[in-house]
Structure 1
Amino acid sequence: MTAPLFEEVDPGNGCDCPGCVHGRRTSARPPSGRFGGRPATRGVVTVAAAATAALGAIPQAAALGIGAPTPPVPGTAGASDVTPQTPQGARSPLHGPAGKPARPAASPTPATTRNEIIKRAKVWVTAKVPYSMSAYWSDGYRQDCSGYVSMAWGLTSNEWTGSLAEFGVKITKDELQPGDILLFHNPDNPEAGSHVVIFGGWTNGKHTEYTVYEQTPPHARSQPTPYPYWSNGSKYVPYRYKGLTTGSAGGQATGGKSATPFPGAAYFGPGANNKHVTELGRMLVARGAGSFYTSGPGPVWGEADRRATQAFQRAQGWTGADADGRPGPGTWNLLVTGRGRSIPGGTTTPGSPASHGVPGFPGRTYFRPGAENDYVTRLGQQLVKKGFGRFYATGPGPRWGDADRRAVEAFQRGLGWRGGAADGYPGPETWRRLFA
Structure 2
Amino acid sequence: MAAKVPYSLTAYWSDGYRQDCSGFVSMAWKLPANEWTGSLGTVADRITKAELQPGDILLFHNTSDPEKGSHVVIFGGWTDGTRTAYTAYEQTPPHTRKRDTPYAYWSDSAKYLPYRYKGVAASGTGKAGAREEPVPAAGPASHGVAGYPGRAMFRPGADNAYVTRLGRQLVRKGFGTYYTRGPGPRWGEADRRGVQAFQRAQGWRGGAADGHPGPETWRRLFS
Map Cα deviations across residues 324-376 of structure 1 (whole Å, 9 max, x no partner): xxxxxxxxxxxx62468xxxxxxxxxxxxxxxxxxxxxxxxxxxxxxxxxxxx
Higher helix fraction: Structure 1 or Structure 2? 1
Task: Please give the root-mean-square deviation of Cα atoms over the aligned residues, in Å.
Answer: 1.3
Contact 2:51 2:126 in 1 (8 A): no
Tell me which residue corresponds to 1:337.
Answer: 124
Q: Counterpart of 1:146?
A: 22
1:205 aligned residue: 81
Distance 1:171 1:188, change over 3 A: same
Instruction: Tell me which of 48, 51, 64 is aligned to 1:175.
Output: 51
Residues 1:231 and 2:107 are matched in the alignment = yes
- Partners of 1:150 and 1:138 in 2: CA distance: 14
Amino acid at match of 1:185: H
Distance (Å, rounded) in 1 between the aligned partners of 2:72 and 2:57? 7
Counterpart code for 1:160? W
- Cα deviation for residue 197 of structure 1 reads 0.4
TM-score, structure 2 as length reference: 0.55
Aligned partner of residue 148 in structure 1, secondary structure: helix
Q: Secondary structure at the match of 1:149?
A: helix
Q: Percent identity?
A: 68
1:191 and 1:245 mapped to 2: Cα distance? Answer: 32
Deviations 1:140-184 (A, max 9, x none): 000000100000000000111000000000000000000000000
Q: Does 1:189 align with 2:58?
A: no
The whole-number CA distance in structure 2 between the counterparts of 1:156 and 1:221 is 23
Unaligned residue ranges in structure 1 (runs of 5+)? 1-124, 247-335, 341-436
The 8 Å contact of residues 79 and 85 in structure 2, kept in 1 or not, is answered as: yes
Query: Aligned partners of 1:132, 1:192: CA distance in 2, in Å?
Result: 15
TM superposition score normalised by structure 1: 0.29
Against the structure 1 CA distance between its residues 234 and 127, is the aligned structure 2 distance closer, same or farther, given a 3 Å change threshold? same
Matched residues, number = 127
SS of residue in 2 equivalent to 1:216: coil
What displacement does 1:226 show?
0.5
Shift in alpha-carbon separation, 1:338–1:192, aligned structure 2, 3 A = closer
TM-superposed CA distance for 1:191, in Å, is 1.6
User: For 1:183, what is the secondary structure of its paired residue?
Assistant: strand
Contact 2:79 2:100 in 1 (8 A): yes
Please say which structure displays the higher CA radius of gyration.
Answer: 1
Alignment of 1:10-409 (within 5 A): 125-245=1-121, 337-338=124-125
SS of residue paired to 2:91: strand
Partner deviation per Cα, 1:242-290 (whole Å, 9 max, x = no partner): 00125xxxxxxxxxxxxxxxxxxxxxxxxxxxxxxxxxxxxxxxxxxxx
For the residues of structure 1 that align with 2:126 and 2:22, how far apart are their CA atoms?
Answer: 30
C-alpha separation between the residues in 2 aligned to 1:217 and 1:190?
A: 17
Letter in 2 for 1:164: L
The whole-number CA distance in structure 1 between the counterparts of 2:126 and 2:25 is 26
User: Per chain length, whose mean CA-contact separation is higher, i.e. which structure has more relative contact order (CA < 8 Å, sep 6+)?
Assistant: 2
